[in-house]
Structure 1
Amino acid sequence: MFEGLARCAFLAALLHCVGCSVQAVDAKGGVRHEVHPGSEHAVQRPVENTDRRTSAEGSTLRPSSGSSLESRTLADSTYLPTESELIEEAGISAAISDEIVESQDAFSKALRRISSDESRSMEAQDLAKHYRSALERAVGTNGAVENLSCGLSICIGSVTAGSIADHDTWLGHLQEDPGAETYGFIEAIERTGDQFQSRFVFSTDPAIKAIIER
């Protein structure tokens, strides 16, 4: 039954993301990747329960703007420590982000680390406050914002909703919020009891708008 819901969620996500340019779609992937309107590239996969371990196949997006070493040096000097590990070239590292959102344990560890970074930066705290407010507006009565912590350009968080339809509703509202734009967005959904938890990583920076897969 959940597979049917996942397929419906994928179709709904495509409808929500009318402004996206879909670069590749993998029918078996367990994580959804999106680049929201205003971006040039997108890699998108259907949402699946993260308890299902499936192989990721299909084409990938491989921008080639500079070496990884140069990109990592730039990230280390411009961003906070935890978010710099998620940034590769002009985008979010899919490999590292996938590991974070697919595992509750890895997600909790990454969230603690970025929260610690945030506590040392007023700019990061302001960004987190701004996007938490946007998430709460988007979610409304359709769920609950569990976590959100940000660096200077990357946020990590989670939202629970009572159904896939409720999840798609809040995500659509977030995408449409002109005051809180999101760019690269990577998420996984896991069913926990009668709730659906979305764990996600997203960019708030138009300079980090691609999703880099290697």
Structure 2
Amino acid sequence: MSYWLAIKPDRKPPPPHHPPAPVPLTPGPRASRLQQVFSEALARTLRANSYANFSACFPTPAKHVPASLESVWRQLNAKLEESARAEFDDIIRERDAVRGLNELDRLVGEARLRRANGEAKGEGPVAPHTLGAEELYQAHLAPYLQEAQSSLNAKIQAAQSQNAELVEKIQQQRKEIESLLSGLEAVVADLEGAAGAATQFSKENSLRQEAIQMDEEVKARDEI
């Protein structure tokens, strides 16, 4: 046992867990891009409210006091821009968007670095010779097990579909059997009624024959 322990390569202990670095409040790539998109959208909105469009809504002042109307237009656009930026800044501050986007930048950067280095889940790449026999066996067997699992799932789904069809057929056959039994009961009831009527007719016919025979005997005695 000591010999195997001596030659078995030691696996490196997991790296110590360090608390994440504080997220800076200076806008990162995503936060900067968000501010850029907002500024571009606001600029397009202000350009849409051009002086030509604005003055077309007030033709009389535009004709008689164009300078005053242009001053009002400039003040209106400035107030609109100021209000929009203030509201945007309030939303960014209330939602702590800069911190969240910076954290997202950090996580994406770490994920790309791990993928580039062939790492997974923050652990370094594991050399095959450092794995035990059980781990190597499972690693080689995993693809075949996954393929077998997929095939088995497909067969199970097919069997379930066939079972559903069989259940539906059985239910239909049960309904047909119940219908046949109902018809058979009606036929049996008719036969029983016919048999009763025949028996009654037979009894009545027998009494009539006896009455006829008695009449004939009485007539015969009278003749004597």
- How high is the TM-score relative to the length of structure 1? 0.19
Structure with more of its chain in helix, by fraction: 2
Structure with more of its chain in strand, by fraction: 1
Larger Rg: 2
